[in-house]
Amino acid sequence: MSAVINADEARTLLAASIAGQLPDKRGRFGPFGGRYVPETLVPAFDRLEQGIAEHLHTDDFQDEFQSELRTWVGRPTALTHAPRLSERWGAEVWLKREDLAHTGAHKINNAIGQALLAKRLGAKRIIAETGAGQHGVASAAACARVGLPCRVYMGAVDIERQAPNVDRMLRLGAEVFPVETGDRTLRAAIDEALREWVTDPAETYYLIGSAVGAHPYPYLVRELQAVIGTEARAQVIAQAGGLPDATFACVGGGSNAIGLFYPLLGDQDIQLIGVEAGGTGSGLGQNAATLATGTPGVLQGSYSIILQNQDGNVQETHSISAGLDYSGVGPEHAFLQAVGRVKYVAASDDEALAALEELCETEGILTALETAHAYAAARRWAAKNPGKRILIGNSGRGDKDMPTLTQYPVRTSNNAAA
């Protein structure tokens, strides 16, 4: 299998993508994607694929889903103009406020959508994995809403650094299962959730939290998250009078980014920029900049770009943000990079921290550490491209990051340590 796409193929594939024809029948975005799962799960994936075809785009399902998005999640989320940040950057900055969605991040769009689907497919219980805890909280809330028991797999390292979210999940009635194997972060949590699913593929529904994994998950998650970009596109036209010049979103697995970017792919004048975790440096293991430094491979069900060593073992990663601390990335992002439609860059831990504080003091918004990476890259871009309109996916709020943030001195100008 070759991950190299020539210029003619790239044009054809991008056109197919914009026309809504990808993934193809085999779950592929060009060469990326597919379904690499144990034989025990093959019938479960077939059922899921069939269930999606049967329900997802019917009026009946969409009425229920849209109603839940409106009256329970609180959509549409606001598009906020950021005048003070704009002035500092010499740009016109607009924020798509997924932090205002119920449970504090975009994750809820996918969680409630899949929980409703699971109910229709007759699932008896739901399992989910979580990194930062936002998907765990969203899954716990969605399961409570639809009345299904929920177990969340979470790496022991993440349980420690995202303690407030663990408590929220427990109060929402979910069971939190600590994962002590592997790297004890998101990747190990996904492995463990898959192992659990293998023991009960018929009655358990695996509610995956990002646009990763085997087909049809990357497609399903994109369809459920595309509400972000669809809303943002209409809002920015109505409020700003036109489309943005550039759009930024952070990328771990890539669900908020694909949700924001996908409805904008056809607007080819908009530069789309995904921002990965640059961690503490460019060396292997110091970051989670998968698309910038990774190579093609198969991890957790799909062929994508992954961080791996020369022997094909998956590399551990580092990021200050648990939600970006992942060695893989959704296959559609690998595809969008390969065909040249989206550019992927990295922002470091320090840049993300500085950007988080700048947004706090200019606009009164405490954003998530994950999201702060998008601001850091947008700030750099604005410095080189003055006077442009910029849309930023403000994917989540930062309250959950307080245990991490309190380890660093306050830098906000009024309160900075002397």
Partner 1 sequence: MQPHERIGAAIAAANSAGRTGLVPFITAGYPDPGKFIETLEAVAAGGDVVELGVPFSDPMADGMTIQRSSFTAIENGVTLRWIFEQLAAAESGIDTPLVMMSYLNPLMSFGYENLARRARETGVCAFIVPDLPYEESEEIRLALESQGVGLIQLVTPATPDERLAMLAGASRGFLYAVTITGITGGDTGLPDSLADYLDKVAAVSPLPVCAGFGIRSAADVVNVGRHAAGAIVGSALVEVLERGENPTEFLKALR
Can you tell me which of 103, 110, 114, 308 binds partner 1, judged by CB under 8 A? 308
CB of 53 to partner 1, least distance (A): 17
CA dihedral 193, 194, 195, 196 (to 10 degrees): 50
Is residue 124 a contact residue for partner 1 (CB under 8 A)? Answer: no
CB of 194 to partner 1, least distance (A): 5
Tokens (6 digits) for 389: 């309109």
Is residue 67 a contact residue for partner 1 (CB under 8 A)? Answer: no
- Residue 300 CA: distances (Å) to CA of 4, 160, 215: 21, 24, 11
**What track of x and - describes contact with partner 1 for positions 28 through 47 (by CB under 8 A)?**
------xxxxxxx-xxx---
Q: Which DSSP string do the residues of 144-159 spell out, in sequence order?
A: HHHT--EEEEEEHHHH
Can you tell me which of 30, 51, 297, 331 binds partner 1, judged by CB under 8 A? 297
Cβ proximity to partner 1: between 175 and 316 the closer is 316
Please name every residue paired with 288 in a beta bridge, in sequence order, or none if there are none.
277
Best CA proximity match to 274, nearest among 355, 343, 352: 343
Token pair 């592929």 is found at 28
Q: Which of 129, 223, 351, 357 is catalytic?
A: 129
Is residue 181 a contact residue for partner 1 (CB under 8 A)? Answer: yes
Q: Which of 107, 223, 332, 370 is catalytic?
A: 107
Best CA proximity match to 106, nearest among 265, 213, 232: 232
Best CA proximity match to 216, nearest among 339, 117, 73: 117
CB of 195 to partner 1, least distance (A): 5
Is residue 293 a contact residue for partner 1 (CB under 8 A)? Answer: no
CB of 189 to partner 1, least distance (A): 12
- Whether 395 is catalytic: yes
Q: Taking the CA atoms of the chain, what radius of gyration do you get in angstroms?
A: 20
Question: Which part of the chain contacts partner 1 (CB under 8 A), choosing from 16-24, 76-84, 115-123, 191-199?
Answer: 191-199
Residue ranges of alpha helices (H) inside 176-282 are 186-199, 217-225, 227-240, 255-261
Is residue 122 a contact residue for partner 1 (CB under 8 A)? Answer: no
By residue count, the chain amounts to: 418
Residue ranges of alpha helices (H) inside 36-185 are 42-55, 59-68, 83-89, 107-120, 134-146, 156-161, 163-171
- Whether 139 is catalytic: no
Is residue 298 a contact residue for partner 1 (CB under 8 A)? Answer: yes
Please name every residue paired with 275 in a beta bridge, in sequence order, or none if there are none.
250, 345
Cβ proximity to partner 1: between 39 and 60 the closer is 39
Alpha-carbon span 320 to 395, nearest angstrom = 16
For residue 77, give the DSSP letter.
P
Question: Which part of the chain contacts partner 1 (CB under 8 A), choosing from 76-84, 121-129, 192-200, 232-240?
Answer: 192-200
Q: Which residues ranging from 310 to 369 are in contact with partner 1 (CB under 8 A)?
A: 310-314
CB of 52 to partner 1, least distance (A): 18
Question: Which part of the chain contacts partner 1 (CB under 8 A), choosing from 48-56, 103-111, 291-299, 394-402?
Answer: 291-299
Is residue 252 a contact residue for partner 1 (CB under 8 A)? Answer: no
Based on the number of CB atoms within 10 Å of its own CB, is 277 exposed (0-12), middle (13-18) or buried (19 or more)? buried
Is residue 244 a contact residue for partner 1 (CB under 8 A)? Answer: no
Is residue 415 a contact residue for partner 1 (CB under 8 A)? Answer: no
CB of 155 to partner 1, least distance (A): 13
Cβ proximity to partner 1: between 159 and 299 the closer is 299
Helix (H) or strand (E) holding 360: helix 349-363
For residue 25, give the DSSP letter.
T
Determine the residue type at 69: L
- Whether 107 is catalytic: yes
**Would you name the residues annotated as active-site residues?**
107, 129, 395
Task: Please report, as ranges, the residues that interact with partner 1 according to CB under 8 A.
Answer: 1, 26, 34-40, 42-44, 181-182, 187, 191, 194-195, 198-202, 297-301, 306, 308, 310-314
